A and B are shown apart, each in its own frame.
Chain A
Amino acid sequence: MTFEIIMIVSLCFLTLSILANIYRVVKGPSSADRIQALDAIGINLIASIAVFSVLLHTHAFFDLILLIGILSFVGTVAFSRFTERGMVIKQKDEG
């Protein structure tokens, strides 16, 4: 019983941190702030899925942890390349 209460308390902490990141996504003055906050939201979702899989006594969601990690990294790299050079994938030079 105490163990479930501790899990729910840590889920509340993770929810509050996701709300703080959403505040930074809405308010952030530059686009790098928004990319940073979205990356942190992806990282916090990984921790939330881990706590949920402890709370539900299942290990069916461990693929999802790896998948969200990879997708968050690829999305962050694509966005930062776009804001840095104006394109994501470099085209082949002609002449």
Chain B
Amino acid sequence: MHGSDEVIAALFILAGSIIVFVSAIGIIRLPDVYTRSHAASKSSTLGVLSTLVGTLLYFLISEGYFSIRLIMGIFFVFLTAPVAAHLIARSAYRNEVPLTENSIEDELKKYYFENELSKK
């Protein structure tokens, strides 16, 4: 209907939603809160950024409308999603949520308990 100039926007949006779906499969299937945080933060952020870039390209190509608010949204999501994942993982570790059974080594545990003992 529109011709071939919106193919790249459709490609970005479809790729982003597929990446988000893969991230959701990771959220269901992974065994641990930390590995689920790994799946949820990285790939979900990448998929949402790809979708927003596709939206920006669609409005830029079809209407010539360049949205600075969408640029700000992209920048804000890119900046704050890893910080939120870091805060959640740190609060989970301090509440002693257990790691999965087949994890080999916990280097933070020794450091953390030494600091706790020196604090008291």
Contact = CB atoms under 8 A, between A and B. Distances in A.
Contacts of B51: 10, 47, 50-51
A88 interface: no
Nearest to B9: A54
Contact of A17 (B13, B23, B80, B91): B23
Given A3-B6, A40-B44, A50 B55 contact: yes
Contact of B52 (A2, A50, A76): A50
* Most chain B Cβ neighbours within 10 Å, of A9, A10, A18: A10
Interface residues of A, number: 50
B47 A3 contact: no
A60 to B, nearest CB: 11
Interface in B85-106: 85, 87-92, 94-95, 97
A43 B85 CA distance: 12
Given A59-B67, A84-B91, A47 B84 contact: no
Contacts of B92: 30, 32
Given A43-B45, A47-B16, A62-B70, A76 B76 contact: no
Contacts of B80: 69, 73
A83 B73 contact: no
6 contacts: A9-B17, A16-B24, A30-B33, A65-B70, A69-B80, A83-B95
A84 to B, nearest CB: 4
Given A76-B84, A77-B84, A66 B73 contact: yes
Nearest to A19: B24
